[in-house]
Amino acid sequence: MKKICKNGYKISNADEKALNRYLNVDFNQWIQNALNGMINKATKSIINDYLELYKSKQTESIASDLSILIPAIIEMPEFKSYNYSTVEEVNIKRKQPSNKEVIENGFEIEDWQEQALNAFYANYEDQLYYFMKNKVNRRKEAFNKEFTNVLMKEKSNIPVHQDDLIDLITARSGYKTRKQEDAEMLAKITETQQ
Amino acid sequence: MANQNSLNNRPDANRTEKSIPVYGASGALTEIGPLTNGQLAIGDSGDPPSAASLDSAGGTITITPGAGTINLEQTNTLDVGDSGFLAYKNSDTSSATGDGSVATISANTEVFDTGNDYNTSTYNFTAPSTGKYYLGTSACGTNIAGSSATAHIINLTTSNRNYQFAYSGAAAIQNGALSMSHAVITDMDAADTAFGSVGYYGGSKLVILTGSAGIYTYLVGMLMA
């Protein structure tokens, strides 16, 4: 087993509120899902691109266990690292301190999964941290856009800073997170059908 | 030449190990560094060169400094159609729903997966980049007790939103079967996930979620913009 993202990742209260407006799972679970997606993409790319070559070099049947197959493929002299990266600069606008740890203990992955990530991504930890930062940034922008429109329609004052706008809106009575809205909507639909 | 030679003439103990000598103001010999991994001596028309690292302000180049090396890789940018998939459920699942239980659209067989972003074990699609995605799903349930059925719901769930389509009552059920479809164009952030699910309500948990190579129950997606 390998432990990754040992340095953790901290978000602010406003970050968390903006995420909860849209996410149907906790942010920690979202990150775990993102990591699973990265492992899946790396593994499938390696298998799709190199399995036939690997098979052509064997005389008997080959193991289908990925923990055996992935390291064996990566060890082939013909294998070339992909150096895949979609990392871009992300600037999160924050007024509040980032003091909420969301991945305190990092994540544990299998050795072969770490090998696959390492062979596919230019830097898999940088990639995952980019996904986290991008997600926070995108949801804060989405929150800002959604509720700036609400405030404009109400002819209310609009806080200049995103964090102030998030605090203002989430303090309102009747404000709901995504989880609350989903649960209420499901209850309404099933109740009216019975 | 006194200035130029001043550094050269220093005793070894006064030179900084691993630094680079440069001519500074008035031609005085000085030094920069020692340079850390990936650093370069970068020129400045108004001042002597200084130690600095390469940067990609637009984030289009991934820079990986090492000991004596700098690796530059173009950041992957994805275009329309660079990520897309079609996967279907290849066999029936008995007692999948019927009592309001929600069953995931377990599309375990791929027709295609451009970009390798669909997972046939978790039935999740992971968006490789932020963008607009087309998502569609269809589910075929059989063995539905028409007389007691109340509602039938099909969901497309992304990390950001849940898109739900509900059918009511027994009218739509034909010979104990009901096929439902749902499609959206939705916003997804990089590394967001999407999956489909279905629930039949009002009866017992006896509804079969149908699967076959005829592609009755499936999930499809494509990067649109």
Q: Are residues B102 and B184 in the same domain?
A: yes
d(CA A114, CA A124): 9
Residue that is last in its domain, among B24, B55, B74: B74
Measure CB to CB from residue B166 to each of A37, A87, A189 and give the nearest one: A189
Q: Are residues B93 and B196 in the same domain?
A: yes
Q: What is the CATH number of the domain that holds B124?
A: 2.60.120.40
Range of the domain at B65: 2-74
Q: Are residues B31 and B95 in the same domain?
A: no
d(CA B202, CA B154): 15
Q: Are residues B44 and B109 in the same domain?
A: no
Q: Are residues B93 and B193 in the same domain?
A: yes
Q: Are residues B211 and B107 in the same domain?
A: yes
Is the pLDDT higher at A32 or at B76? Answer: A32
Q: Looking at residue B2, what is its pLDDT?
A: 46
Task: List chain A residues with CB under 8 Å of B223.
Answer: none
Task: List chain A residues with CB under 8 Å of B122.
Answer: 36, 40
Work out how many domains chain B is built from and give that number: 2
Specify if B79 maps to a domain. no
The residue of chain A nearest to residue B117, with distances taken between CA atoms, is A41
Task: List chain A residues with CB under 8 Å of B157.
Answer: 24
d(CA B133, CA B85): 11
Q: Quick check: A86 contacting B, CB < 8 Å?
A: yes
d(CA B141, CA B136): 17
Q: Are residues B70 and B94 in the same domain?
A: no
Phi-psi region of A102 (alpha: psi -120 to 50; beta: other; left: phi over 0): alpha
Q: Are residues B159 and B205 in the same domain?
A: yes
Query: Which of the four pLDDT bands, split at 50, 70 and 90, describes residue B143?
Result: very high
Q: Are residues B100 and B188 in the same domain?
A: yes
Mean pLDDT by 10 residues, chain A (194 residues): 94 97 96 98 98 96 95 97 87 92 94 98 95 97 96 96 97 95 82 59
Q: Quick check: B37 contacting A, CB < 8 Å?
A: no
Q: Are residues B146 and B200 in the same domain?
A: yes
Does the beta-carbon distance from A89 to B100 stay under 8 Å?
no
Q: Are residues B68 and B119 in the same domain?
A: no
Q: Domain ranges in chain A?
A: 12-94+102-193
Q: Are residues B136 and B162 in the same domain?
A: yes
Q: How many CA atoms lie within 13 A of A136 on its CB side?
A: 26
- The SS3 call for residue B47 is strand
Residue that is last in its domain, among B74, B95, B116: B74
Specify if B37 maps to a domain. yes
- Per residue in A78-127, pLDDT tens? 999 999 998 777 888 899 999 999 998 899 999 999 999 999 999 999 99
Residue that is last in its domain, among B47, B74, B101: B74
Q: Looking at residue A193, what is its pLDDT?
A: 55
